[in-house]
Amino acid sequence: MHTGAGVLFIVKNYSGDLMNFEMAAEMCEVPNATVRVNDDVAVENSSYTTGRRGVAGTVIVEKLVGSLAESSADLERCRAFGERVVTNIASMGVAFSSCTVPAAGKPTFAIGDDEIEIGVGIHGEPGRRRARIEPADAIVDELLTAIVGELEPAADAQLLVLVNGLGGTPLSELYLLFNSASAWLAQRGLKIARAQVGSPTTSLDMAGASLTVCSFDAEMIRHWDSPVHTPALRWGR
């Protein structure tokens, strides 16, 4: 609903996304600001980006900033809060298959039935390495080692863990990954304060998943817990 308070663009860090939102900002006739999400710790640069990619952590930014905006916070406060949230989020994914873009009609990349792509991007961009398929515990260990190494959460940190399906992975397998992630964090004395398992950020029909960890403070927890009613997130109403 337009109230005249302005528009906050929350944009994944991809060259095409940034270009289009920059054009939108130029055309916008109300105050506007941008938060760039670059939560993917797998690679520093990729086919579509300069710097880290924006992936499933974007959903967390949208939820938290959306809640703050709903409380009538002004544009600058929402922008600053969004930037703070971004610095406390890290993600990394794994693919078991490629995705098929309908216009192309064929897989974006080739991968063997016994292979996985560690650090894949949501557009099918290459990750940090190709490997033979591994047990869930081993996959989660590699993902969380990179994620937690980036965030360096304190021992008493309140963590949100998001297990995000990439489109072709059944919910049962996503919960298997969550179980491995929960055990990995518990072994290191890190507490999961909130958890979410689902497929809010997909790569069409790609089999795979990503893990996202957000280190919460009290304000972030409050806005995560606030009522929400969207196709991907629903609680409190």
Percentage of the chain surpassing pLDDT 70? 97
- pTM, to two decimals: 0.93
Calculated CA dihedral for residues 112, 118, 122, 126, nearest 10 degrees = -70
Using DSSP's 3-state secondary structure scheme, residue 186 falls into helix
Residue 123 a catalytic site member: yes
Cβ distance 42 to 65 under 8 Å? no
Measured CA to CA, the distance from residue 57 to residue 207 in angstroms comes to 19
Nearest of 214, 213, 212, 215 to residue 201 by alpha carbon: 212
**Structure confidence by residue, pLDDT tens digits, 169-223:** 999 999 999 999 999 999 999 999 999 999 999 999 999 999 999 999 999 999 9
The CA distances from residue 93 to 2, 27, 30, in Å, are 36, 35, 37
Catalytic residue (one of 2, 123, 223, 229): 123
**Structure confidence by residue, pLDDT tens digits, 18-59:** 999 999 998 988 899 999 999 999 988 766 667 899 999 999
The encoded tokens of residue 173 equal 């397998």
Measured CA to CA, the distance from residue 9 to residue 6 in angstroms comes to 10
| Residue 195 backbone class (left: φ over 0; alpha: ψ -120 to 50; beta: rest) | beta
**CATH architecture assignment, domain 1-237:** 2-Layer Sandwich (3.30)
User: Which pLDDT score is estimated for 47?
Assistant: 63
